[in-house]
Chain A
Amino acid sequence: MEWIQQLINGISLGSIYALIALGYTMVYGIIKLINFAHGDVFMVGSFIGFYSITVFGLGFFPALIISMVACALFGVIIERIAYKRLRSATRIAALITAIGVSLLIEYGVIYIRGAQPEAYPNIFSNKTFSILGAQISIQSVLILSVSVVLMILLQFIVHKTKTGKAMRAVSHDVEAAKLMGINVDNTISATFAIGSALAGAAGVIFGVYYTKIDPLMGVIPGLKAFVAAVLGGIGIIPGAMVGGLVLGVVETIVSALGFSLWRDAAAFIILILILIFRPSGIFGKNTREKV
């Protein structure tokens, strides 16, 4: 039953993509900016988790929470310093700034600690158990359950709390939300905080699952998570989850078929196909352009 095992690998990978994609999709939904630095927040989260485990000797869950909190702060700082002034700027200016911030974080980290990779410590036992003949490690079950819990938590925040309501209102119409007395600046910061916290969690999970982390690790997962967000329909939260899972499974299938070198290309081919045939994504609705 190798296929079931591959499917589970794909879902684990996909849940990491989904966690990152959620941040992209939330930020895009609210300020229409592709936050290129998001993949680097993921990298920073992974390193924070790594240092809390190795230097401070913490367990997985405390490290996860520290990394999420630190990334949330980091995300808000990035938003306040770099993106806030650009609300009224052109889209190109905002996009270029985001690329600049992304590179600044990457090379800032390399400057501070060097470019050498780090090996994540083994926190969980490598025990496996078999379901239907597939060998499943405890790790992947745990990773999957953490991501699912986080996604449920996110759904709760977005749909049941006041902040979530404000976020939905701002992403629907900024001006109207302002008129209704919503503090738009704080809401945007909250969006960045939540999105970045999810990226931080994804970073720690990635580290535990793939064991090797380095300062440029965020680039490719970041881009792929963006593909996942577009696939599901950018700005739509369930879309990002589904898109991430689909992408993870497709990539695993491509590698399982023996084309592992083409794995990265698969994501971009999906992106281009979806952009050409259904630019609004799986869950998106077609909107007409207004003049």
Chain B
Amino acid sequence: MKKSKQFWPFILLAVLVYVVIQVLISTEMMNQFYSNTLILIAINIILAVSLHLVIGITGQFSIGHAGFLAVGAYVSAIITMKLQLPFAVAIIVGGVVAALAGLIVGIPSLRLKGDYLAIATLGFAEIIRIVFLNIDAVGGAAGMQVSHLTTWTYAFVCLVITLVVIVNFTNSRHGLAAISVRENEIASDAMGINTTYYKVIAFAIGSFFAGVAGALFSHNFYIIQPSQFGFLKSFDILIFVVLGGLGSLSGAVLSAILLTIVSTYLQGYPETRMIIYSLVLIIVMLYRPKGLMGTMEITDYFKLWRTPKGGGQHEK
């Protein structure tokens, strides 16, 4: 019920945003710098939302998301540069291969819990990075030349599809099962939910969209190198999710927008940027461990304002 009520307004809003920005770009009212920042924001939102599905909804703490980003980036780059296929194909294949990588990583490691899972995903991301480092066909450490194909249209369409799929997944019975895994794995196991299945599914979907983001990412710069997909990249994605609120989709989106803008302006001072990021992370965890928005969504706040005092309908 709730889903169908929000779906069309969302699509309408998305089309509106797209048209306005596309007009601004094509009439050159908006210069290269801003349009590039917008594409970067779209990529980061896709990454944030895909990790949100794994950490925020399913409660599986993965800190190796950059590994799947790397898979998507390299696979799509191979498809456009070596096989000369169109970019749209590259995005889809990049996503599918990343999802397969997610399945391969997820099936053994999702048997682990908490800290062990975090370290295992980190280890897998490092292995993926080292594999690309050692394949000469993709340039090894020197990197691989990629032509610039990512446009605002591609980025935005991918973003909208990602949001629709993840919101619908979250509101479906699969999403409810995933949330129950987050809340209490043993209890949901006891209720007859196949916890491993839902964890792996969420992980694979998250990896798919990370791969899509990787395809956009690699075709947005002119070169990709294994060093771009190290632990720091995983950390960048993690902070979007943590700052916005573990379990809040709109929180992840908002913090991805905010932090992308902040880091664009701090590009000349990488150390300062990392110091600010790490301080933000520590302070948020010490004083507001659920992240800025907790598990609330923006739409929940609207409902709060509409209901009279003491109503508290969102608790239902």
Smallest CB–CB gap between A125 and chain B, Å?
36
Rounded to whole angstroms, the CA-CA distance of A92 and B284 in the bound complex is 13
In the complex, how many angstroms separate the beta carbon of A30 from the nearest chain B beta carbon? Answer: 14
Q: A264-B130, A271-B123 are in contact. Are A111 and B272 (CB under 8 A)?
A: yes
CB contacts under 8 Å to A, within B266-280, are: 271-272, 274-275, 277-279
A82 and B289 in contact, given A265-B127, A269-B127, A275-B120 (Cβ under 8 angstroms): no
Of the residues A82, A89, A106, A271, contact of B119 by C-beta under 8 Å: A271
Contacts known (A96-B285, A107-B271); A264 close to B61, Cβ less than 8 A: no
| A268 & B123 in contact (Cβ 8 Å cutoff) | yes
Select the stretch in A97-105, A146-154, A193-201 that faces chain B: A97-105
B111-123 contact mask (Cβ, 8 Å, vs A): 1 or 0: 1101110111011
Q: CB distance B116 to A97 under 8 Å?
A: no
List of A residues within 8 angstroms of B88 by Cβ: none
Q: A95-B61, A261-B133 are in contact. Are A272 and B124 (CB under 8 A)?
A: yes
Contacts of A89 in B (CB 8 A): 285, 289
Q: Would A92 and B282 count as touching, CB distance under 8 A?
A: no
Contact, CB under 8 Å: B131 / A95: no
Q: Which residues of chain B come closer than 8 Å to A65, judged between CB atoms? A: none
> Which residue in chain B gives the minimum CB-CB distance to A104?
B278
Which of the residues B112, B119, B238 comes within 8 Å of A96, measured between beta carbons? B238
| Least CB distance, A220 to chain B, in whole angstroms | 9
User: How would you classify the secondary structure of chain A's contact residues: helix, strand, loop or mixed?
Assistant: helix
A86 at the A/B interface (Cβ < 8 Å)?
yes
Produce 1/0 per residue, A80-120, CB < 8 A to B: 00100110011111111101111110111011000100000
> A101-B282, A103-B278 are contacts. A265–B130 as well, Cβ < 8 Å?
yes
Q: A97-B282, A272-B108 are in contact. Are A34 and B130 (CB under 8 A)?
A: no
Interface centre among B126, B242, B285, B289 (most CB of A within 10 A): B285
Tell me which residues across on chain A come within 8 A of B120, comparing CB atoms.
271-272, 275
A157 CA / B289 CA spacing, docked (Å): 36
Does the CB pair B126–A230 fall under 8 Å?
no
CB distance from B301 to the nearest CB of A (A): 23
A80 to chain B, nearest CB (A): 12
Instruction: Judge whether A272 and B123 touch: CB under 8 Å.
Output: yes
B116 touches A275 (CB 8 A): yes
A90 to B115: give the CA distance in the assembly, Å: 11
Complex CA–CA separation, A230 to B117 (angstroms): 12
Tell me, rounded to whole Å, the shortest Cβ–Cβ distance linking A149 to chain B: 30
> Do A96 and B114 touch across chains, with their CB atoms under 8 A apart?
no
User: A65 to nearest B CB, angstroms?
Assistant: 30
Residue contact B127 to A268, C-beta cutoff 8 Å: yes
In the bound assembly, the distance between CA atoms of A32 and B282 in angstroms comes to 18
Complex: how many Å from CA A89 to CA B274?
24
Q: Does A262 contact B (CB under 8 A)?
A: yes
Residues in B whose Cβ lies below 8 Å from that of A226? 119
- Over the window 214-254 of chain A, the binary record of Cβ atoms lying under 8 Å from chain B Cβ atoms (1 yes, 0 no) is 00000100010011001000000000000000000000000
Instruction: Identify B112's interface contact among A86, A102, A223, A275, CB under 8 A.
Output: A275
Distance A241 CA – B217 CA, assembled complex (angstroms): 42
Residues of chain A from 255 to 291 with CB closer than 8 A to chain B in the complex: 261-262, 264-265, 268-269, 271-272, 275-276, 279, 289, 291
**Bound complex: CA A265 to CA B242 (Å):** 28
In the bound complex, CA of A148 to CA of B282 (Å) = 36
The distance in angstroms between the C-alpha atoms of A118 and B130, with both chains bound, is: 26
Q: Which of A92, A93, A95, A104 contacts B275 (CB 8 A)?
A: A104
B124 touches A90 (CB 8 A): no
Q: Is B231 an interface residue (CB 8 A)?
A: yes
B114 / chain A contacts, CB cutoff of 8 Å? 91-92, 95
Interface residues of B in 103-146 (CB under 8 A from A): 108-109, 111-112, 114-116, 118-120, 122-124, 126-127, 130-131, 133-134
> How far, in Å, is B132 (CB) from chain A's closest CB?
11
A101 CB, nearest partner CB in chain B, Å:
6
Contacts of A94 in B (CB 8 A): 285
**A271 / chain B contacts, CB cutoff of 8 Å:** 119-120, 123
Check A107–B275 contact: CB distance below 8 A.
yes
Instruction: Given A92-B61, A261-B130, A265-B126, check contact A104 B282 (CB 8 Å).
Output: yes
Q: Considering the complex, give the chain A residue whose CB is closest to the CB of B63.
A: A99
Q: Is the CB of B134 within 8 A of A99?
A: no
Q: Is the CB of B282 within 8 A of A82?
A: yes
Q: Is the CB of A111 within 8 A of B275?
A: yes
Cα distance A103–B122 in the bound complex, in angstroms? 15
Cα separation A91 to B272 with both chains bound (whole Å): 28
Docked CA distance A275–B122 (Å): 13
Q: Whole-angstrom distance from the CB of A13 to the nearest CB of chain B?
A: 18
A55–B282 Cα distance when bound, in Å, is 33
How far is the CB of A255 from the nearest CB of chain B, in Å? 14
Cβ contacts A to B, 14 pairs, < 8 Å: A92-B55, A92-B114, A94-B285, A95-B115, A95-B118, A96-B242, A96-B285, A97-B286, A100-B282, A111-B271, A262-B134, A268-B124, A271-B120, A276-B111
Please name 18 further chain A to chain B contacts, defined as beta carbons within 8 Å, in addition to the given A100-B285, A272-B108, sorted by A numbering: A86-B285, A92-B114, A93-B285, A96-B242, A99-B281, A100-B278, A101-B282, A107-B278, A108-B275, A226-B119, A265-B126, A265-B131, A272-B124, A275-B112, A275-B116, A275-B120, A276-B108, A289-B186
The 5 closest A-B pairs by CB, nearest first: A268-B123, A100-B281, A103-B278, A107-B274, A104-B278
